[in-house]
């Protein structure tokens, strides 16, 4: 561009507000649209529970009794939500999380029930051990730390339980090294070549998970800092996702969401794979409680937060707001 043209492009000739004048202009110029098709709804399923149990730290979210899972999945499907992510709340915990490795355990039962309830809904299984171990860590403990490779052996078992139960997508969340290559190999070896793996590829040891602990009934003492990432590490965040792509992940993920949009944008520039973001329990609760206190407009802030994820590069969004978004979409 010649210097003359550059001069002409400047104020008062150039006025960016021209394209913001009316709702129709703004709609035409809109760069980022969130739709219900982008959203994944997490469901907490508790065995031996009689009625839905409200999660006090997450207003509007309940632990669903296993006996009520069929009705809940049908309700979610009727809202137009296309995908759910299942978390088991176990009453049969032990040192290894053995219940999750049995075909008749909670993981297998949840997946079968959800698929039967609404065959068209995508059922994603979060595969990890923290909801099934009595110590609350994401794997087997040796010498006071989670043993990476021993955990992978068990993760194969849990993954195959979910696969045999008919799961649509496997989502390993434990941040063990070598998870994706190990699970891809195991799935392919058993004929599940069409089962995609959504990697929790870049997952931080975040204080924003606080309300989830109540929701999932985890009994963790201490922290997960030897396997989840430290919040200040941007380059390492990229490295983790690049590594999972190389191991064969089908979908990558950043977790949490709002405090890590820079990481999301970094990974978007480095991969052609679909990218998911997890708007975690603490992000949800902050918006809910601020809305209840009258400090924020909950619906507007929810929409803005989801839009920000897509703008930063997410294709899929895991969010506890999915039913709320669906209801607002139906009204609109």
Catalytic residues: 203, 255
- How far apart CA 317 and CA 273 sit, in angstroms, is 15
Q: CB within 8 A of 177, min separation 6: which ones?
A: 148
Q: Which region, judged by CB under 5 A, interacts with Zn ion, from 15-23, 45-53, 170-178, 291-299?
A: 170-178
Cis bond before residue 313 (omega within 30° of 0): no
Q: Which region, judged by CB under 5 A, interacts with Zn ion, from 53-61, 98-106, 117-125, 166-174?
A: 166-174
- With respect to Zn ion, which residue has the nearer C-beta, 202 or 305? 202
How far apart are CB 130 and Zn ion at their closest, in Å? 3
Contacts with Zn ion, 126-145, as mask; x by CB under 5 A: --x-x-------x-------
How far apart are CB 7 and Zn ion at their closest, in Å? 59
Q: Is 130 annotated as a binding residue?
A: yes
Q: Is 320 annotated as a binding residue?
A: yes
- How far apart CA 299 and CA 283 sit, in angstroms, is 14
Q: CB within 8 A of 317, min separation 6: which ones?
A: 34, 38, 39, 40, 257, 276, 277, 279, 306, 309, 310
How far apart are CB 126 and Zn ion at their closest, in Å? 8
**No. of helices (H) and no. of strands (E), the chain:** 12, 12
Q: Is 66 annotated as a binding residue?
A: no
Q: By CB under 5 A, tell whether 175 contacts Zn ion.
A: no
Question: What is the distance of C-alpha 32 from the center of its chain?
Answer: 20
- 151 near 174, Cβ under 8 Å? yes
Q: Which region, judged by CB under 5 A, interacts with Zn ion, from 57-65, 79-87, 124-132, 317-325?
A: 124-132
- With respect to Zn ion, which residue has the nearer C-beta, 130 or 316? 130
How far apart are CB 174 and Zn ion at their closest, in Å? 5
Q: Is 224 annotated as a binding residue?
A: yes
DSSP-derived secondary structure letter, 230: P
- 180 near 248, Cβ under 8 Å? yes
Question: Comparing C-alpha atoms, which of 90, 86, 176, 174 is closest to residue 132?
Answer: 90
- With respect to Zn ion, which residue has the nearer C-beta, 81 or 130? 130
Q: By CB under 5 A, tell whether 89 contacts Zn ion.
A: no
DSSP string, 143-171: TTEE-HHHHHHHHHHHHHHHHHTT-SEEE
Q: Is 240 annotated as a binding residue?
A: yes
How far apart are CB 219 and Zn ion at their closest, in Å? 12
Q: Is 281 annotated as a binding residue?
A: yes
Q: Is 128 annotated as a binding residue?
A: yes
Contacts with Zn ion, 48-87, as mask; x by CB under 5 A: ----------------------------------------
Strands 169-172, 202-203: parallel, antiparallel or unpaired by DSSP?
A: unpaired
Q: Which helix (H) or strand (E) element contains residue 41?
A: strand 39-46
How far apart are CB 264 and Zn ion at their closest, in Å? 21
Q: 3-state DSSP: the chain helix, strand, coil percent, rounded to 5? A: 45, 15, 40
Q: Which region, judged by CB under 5 A, interacts with Zn ion, from 43-51, 75-83, 89-97, 167-175?
A: 167-175
- How far apart CA 158 and CA 314 sit, in angstroms, is 28
- With respect to Zn ion, which residue has the nearer C-beta, 208 or 325? 208
Annotated binding site: 128, 130, 138, 213, 224, 240, 281, 320
Annotated binding site for Zn(2+): 128, 130, 138
Annotated binding site for Mg(2+): 240
Residues lying near Zn ion in the complex (CB under 5 A) are found at 128, 130, 138, 174
Annotated binding site for 5-aminolevulinate: 213, 224, 281, 320
């Amino acid at each position: 561009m010649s210097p003359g043209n550059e001069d002409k492009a400047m104020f008062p000739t150039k006025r960016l507000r021209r394209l913001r004048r009316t709702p129709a202009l703004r709609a035409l110029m809109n760069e980022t649209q969130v739709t219900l098709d982008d959203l994944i709804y997490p469901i907490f399923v508790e065995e031996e529970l009689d009625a839905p149990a409200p999660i006090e730290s997450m207003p509007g979210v309940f632990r669903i009794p296993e006996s009520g899972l069929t009705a809940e999945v049908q309700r979610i499907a009727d809202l137009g939500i296309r995908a759910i992510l299942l978390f088991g709340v176990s009453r049969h915990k032990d040192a290894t999380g053995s219940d999750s490795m049995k075909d008749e355990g909670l993981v297998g039962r949840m997946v079968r029930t959800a698929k039967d309830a609404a065959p068209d809904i995508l059922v994603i299984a979060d595969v990890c051990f923290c909801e099934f171990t009595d110590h609350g860590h994401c794997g087997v403990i040796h010498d006071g730390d989670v043993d990476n490779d021993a955990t992978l052996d068990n993760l194969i078992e849990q993954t195959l339980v979910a696969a045999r139960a008919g799961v649509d997508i496997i989502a390993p969340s434990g941040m063990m090294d070598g998870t994706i290559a190990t699970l891809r190999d195991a799935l392919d070896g058993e004929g599940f070549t069409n089962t995609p793996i959504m990697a929790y590829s870049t997952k931080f040891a975040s204080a924003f998970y606080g309300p989830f602990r109540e929701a999932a009934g985890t009994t963790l003492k201490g922290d997960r800092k030897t396997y989840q990432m430290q919040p200040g590490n941007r380059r390492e965040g990229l490295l983790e996702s690049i590594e999972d792509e190389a191991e064969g992940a089908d979908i990558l993920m950043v977790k949490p969401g709002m405090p890590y949009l820079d990481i999301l944008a970094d990974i978007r520039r480095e991969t052609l794979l679909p990218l998911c973001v997890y708007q975690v329990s603490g992000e949800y609760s902050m918006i809910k409680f601020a809305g209840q206190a009258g400090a924020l407009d909950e619906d507007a802030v929810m929409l803005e937060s989801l839009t920000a994820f897509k703008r930063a590069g997410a294709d899929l969004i895991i969010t506890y707001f999915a039913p709320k978004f669906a209801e607002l979409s139906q009204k609109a």
